[in-house]
Amino acid sequence: MELRQERRAVERPLVSVVDDDESVRESLPDLLGELGYAARTFSSAEEFLASDCLDQARCLILDIAMPGMSGPDLQRELKLRGQEIPIIFITASTDKSARPRLLEQGAVECLFKPFSDTALLKAMNTAFHRK
Amino acid sequence: MEVQSEHASGEIKHLQRCINDLISLLALPAIWSGGDPSQVLHTLLDALMRMLRLDLISVRLTDLVGEAPVEIVRLSEQRRPMSSAHEICEALSQCFKNDSRKWPPLLRNLMGDGDVSIVALPLGLQGELGIMVVAAEREDFPRQTESLLLDVAANQAVIGLQEARLRSQQKRVADELDRQVAQRAAELATANEKLKKELAERGLVEERLGQEERELKRSEVRKAAIVDSALDCIVTIDHEGCITEFNPAEEDTFGYRRDEVLGKHLADVVIPPSLREKHRRGFARYLATGEARVLGKRIEMTAVRADGSEFPVELAITRIPLEGPPSFTGYLRDITERNRARQELRRSEAFLAEAQHLSRIGSFSWRMVTDEITWSEQLYRIFQIDRDAQVTFELIGTRIHPEDLPAFQEHIERSRRDRSDVQLEFRLQMPDGAVKYVHVAAHIRGDHGQPEYIGAVQDVTERRASEEALGKARSELSQVARVTSLGVLTASIAHEVNQPLSGIITNAGTCLRMLAADPPNVEGARETVRRTIRDGNRAADVISRLRALYGKKEPTIESVDLNEATREVLALSMSELQRNRVIVQQELVDDLPLVAGDRVQLQQVILNLLRNASDAMSTIDDRPRDLLIRTEPDDDGRVRLSVSDVGTGFEPQATDKLFEAFYTTKNEGMGIGLSVSRSIIERHHGRLWAMPNSGPGVTFSFSVPCRAEGLTSDGARASRVPSVSDAA
């Protein structure tokens, strides 16, 4: 279990990152910080659901394939709970066919690893613009 | 098959020799025909000496009417006994006075210190004619066939002696008659002159005449007894061809009673209708011109029984040497059995030749002392050497593939030296350049003096060709499997590489932003660069693991820790397994012995088992997709690795098919994985099998020998495990 908080400032919107890959959990918060967000990371969907972050997060950056509950599973679960958080899926898979279905089901974006900082920024802007 | 065929070949040769000897023995009467007892015996002893390689042969006759006992002793020229022939002769004379059963030990002392086998054969049913003694310094003497030959020889001797005796008796009787007639004429003349004076003496003369008649009659009776007891058919005919005597053997053989045929034409009785005319012509010609085509020879012809059935006989006709109109004696022997044996021998030879032809097996013998090599017909065909050629090692050498010739010659020398069994495979090169593969198996047999290799040569060219084709096909299959594995793995590889790449790009982007800020966040930038380097290394690790798994081509033998190999495979495939929601449980036992093998090939097998287990559980939603991978020491110095799943399992009847190439229970996939996996494990001298679990799912296991066993018990085996790709 790992929980990391970066530059937690009141004015900064909170973004939750759920990914089983440590590289992502380490690198993304710094980038999000540079982009003007606060970030919290979780190594699994279950850990995120159990946290107090559920109500605070304004956006969710979610890995698709994870041990246990997968990204889309969490998306469905949140919908069931009435939690309408904008979700940006990220995946290391090269299978592009998953993307249209995810967007159809309400995801903001689906980014294929490795993605650039500008691609992430664009997706973040879309997420917060929607809101 | 090889052993049988060479045994059969030796047996057939032996039997053939025996039959030849038998025929020679049976032909002897033609040689001694008309001779005296001494000629009969000399002829017979010469033949036996030669046939049976005897060291001593002796005959003593005890019952020859009016003649002194004949004794003949022969000694082998090769043999120099302790005692001279004369001494042995003397000793034998002594022996004869004693019980004949006691004297072989006496004789043995005379023959010297060698181990001598002695056989005594009584001549005549009760030994009344005498005794024949043979001795040979051979361990196997007398063999069964030699005993048979000796019995036949003894019988021939009896018949020959009886014939000779009969002849001499007849001659004596005739001489006696002449003498008596002359004497009687003289006496009668004298008596006529002195008739009146010697009336009183007349009674005496008459009495003497009566005595002589009785003597003659006794001789006739004795002759009849011999004829009656003879085993051969004996028939006598007069100058018109009419039967005058017909012995009991003849009655048995032909089914006529003596009184039925006496006075009838021989031709009408025993000769088939189709041959009668010819017989009559020959008989008439002889009577007219004296030209005999059959007299004194053994001829084979067809005879006919009373019931009309025909059968083969051997016939010898001799002219009875009496004055007056010619009369003849015919000796007939039913040779149905002999012909049948001869035919069976021929058929058995034909069977053998055909079997050799069909199975492409030729047989040979090699007498080591003389280097005399005998080949079966098929062997000439295999070597493409002319049937009439004299087989020598030099000639054989011209057909051996030049690259295999030195090894072949060394094998010959070793066989000469060690006399051990031979198992050898080498190539032949035909004059047209074609190459044949032959397998040779031979073993030595024979006595000390005549060691002989008997063996078989099989043309295995086709088998080799199919083995090579099989190896090639397997190698191609394994190539397909590799490509397939790579194809399936591509997504997994991309996933593994994309994770650290993602970190690198993100960190680099962050770094740029931190440095571009005012003031630059140097500390944060340094941290991102540190993480970038680490992620770069992680990506490099992934690549090198993949290269290790798929990059190598040549198999190498090394000590492999199956636990470590398993962990590496798990590290590569874990994310894929997780995506498939497979829960992996590892039970890798500590201190697992190392195994000898090709690490990459073994890892491919493990990977294949993991993927199979994962695929088998892809539709399971009502229970956790548990996968257990376990390593443990197995029996007999082996290590076992097993992978259990809780998947759909397979039908029990499909167990046999699981490992066949292209058999698959999956909708996708080529079904090659398990067959290639099994071939890899078998090349590691291990085995791979599948067992249904007591609960749901299946356990696939393989076990391979530990390194220590592989290195100590068979270094060559451990040093090189053929790869699936080098078979061709």
**What ipTM was estimated for this complex?**
0.82
Q: Do B506 and A21 count as a contact with CB atoms less than 8 A apart?
A: no
pLDDT of residue B234: 84
Rounded Cα–Cα distance for residues B387 and B432 (Å): 18
Q: How confident is the model at residue B472 (pLDDT cuts 50, 70, 90)?
A: low
Cβ(A108)–Cβ(A86) below 8 Å: yes
Phi-psi region of B551 (alpha: psi -120 to 50; beta: other; left: phi over 0): alpha
Other beta carbons less than 10 A from residue B521's beta carbon: 20
pLDDT of residue A41: 95
**What average pLDDT score do residues B469-474 get?**
67
Selection from B123, B150, B132, B122 nearest residue B53 by Cα: B150
Residue B401 token pair? 């593939």
Q: What is the pLDDT of residues B589-615, one digit of tens each?
A: 988 999 988 888 888 889 889 888 888
Residues of chain A with pLDDT under 70: 1-10, 130-131
**What average pLDDT score do residues B172-185 get?**
78
pLDDT of residue B370: 86
Q: What is the pLDDT of residues B473-510, one digit of tens each?
A: 666 655 566 555 565 566 667 777 888 889 999 999 99
CB-based contact (8 Å) between A23 and chain B? Answer: yes
Measure CB to CB from residue A65 to each of B517, B528, B579 and give the nearest one: B579
Does residue B667 register a pLDDT over 50? no
Of residues B352 and B686, which shows the higher confidence score?
B686
CB-based contact (8 Å) between A111 and chain B? Answer: no
User: In sequence order, what are the residues at sequence separation of 6 or more whose Cβ sits closer than 8 angstroms to the Cβ of residue B683?
Assistant: B601, B721, B722, B723, B724
- CA dihedral B105→B108→B113→B115, nearest 10 degrees, is -90
Other beta carbons less than 10 A from residue B361's beta carbon: 24
Residue B684 token pair? 């590691």
Does residue B724 register a pLDDT over 50? no
Residue in A with minimal Cα distance to B490: A94
Q: Do A65 and B514 count as a contact with CB atoms less than 8 A apart?
A: no
Q: Do A113 and B504 count as a contact with CB atoms less than 8 A apart?
A: no
Does residue B643 register a pLDDT over 90? yes
pLDDT of residue B703: 93
Q: How confident is the model at residue B95 (pLDDT cuts 50, 70, 90)?
A: low
Residue in B with minimal Cα distance to A121: B509
Phi, psi of B239, rounded to the nearest 5 degrees:
-70, -15
CB-based contact (8 Å) between B538 and chain A? Answer: yes
Q: Do B531 and A23 count as a contact with CB atoms less than 8 A apart?
A: yes
Cβ(B75)–Cβ(B55) below 8 Å: yes
Residue type (1 letter), B552: K
Output b/e per residue, B73-83; b: 16+ Cβ within 10 A: bbbbeebebeb
Does residue B339 register a pLDDT over 60? yes
CB-based contact (8 Å) between A84 and chain B? Answer: no
Residue B438 token pair? 């032959």
Q: How confident is the model at residue B709 (pLDDT cuts 50, 70, 90)?
A: very low
Rounded Cα–Cα distance for residues A96 and B321 (Å): 122
Measure CB to CB from residue A116 to each of B503, B505, B507 and give the nearest one: B505
pLDDT of residue B86: 65
DSSP state of B403: T
Q: Which chain B residues are within 8 Å of A31, Cβ to Cβ?
A: 506-507, 509-510, 513
Does residue B714 register a pLDDT over 50? no
pLDDT of residue B662: 43
Burial class (CB in 10 A: 0-12, 13-18, 19+), B599: buried
Q: Do B499 and A23 count as a contact with CB atoms less than 8 A apart?
A: yes
Cβ(B333)–Cβ(B233) below 8 Å: yes
Rounded Cα–Cα distance for residues B424 and B421 (Å): 10
Rounded Cα–Cα distance for residues B144 and B149 (Å): 9
Terminal-to-terminal C-alpha distance of chain B: 30
Where helices occur in B386-460 by DSSP H, the ranges are 393-397, 405-418
User: In sequence order, what are the residues at sequence separation of 6 or more whose Cβ sits closer than 8 angstroms to the Cβ of residue A7?
Assistant: A33, A38
pLDDT of residue B109: 59
Residue B615 token pair? 């695929």
**Strand B117-123 vs strand B233-237: parallel, antiparallel, or unpaired?**
unpaired
CB-based contact (8 Å) between A97 and chain B? Answer: no
Average confidence score pLDDT of chain B: 78
pLDDT of residue A110: 94
In angstroms, the separation between the Cα of residue B628 and the nearest Cα of chain A is 17
Q: How confident is the model at residue B10 (pLDDT cuts 50, 70, 90)?
A: confident
Q: CA dist A70 to A64, B37, B535, Å? A: 6, 117, 24
Does residue B233 register a pLDDT over 50? yes
CB-based contact (8 Å) between B530 and chain A? Answer: no
Measure CB to CB from residue B502 to each of A65, A115, A118 and give the nearest one: A115
Q: CA dist B615 to A67, A94, B489, B648, B656, Å? A: 17, 20, 14, 9, 20
Output b/e per residue, B5-33; b: 16+ Cβ within 10 A: bbebbbeeeeeeebeebbeebbebbebbb
Residue B23 token pair? 């025929």
The alpha carbon of A124 is separated from its chain's Cα centroid by a whole number of angstroms, namely 10
Q: How confident is the model at residue B96 (pLDDT cuts 50, 70, 90)?
A: low
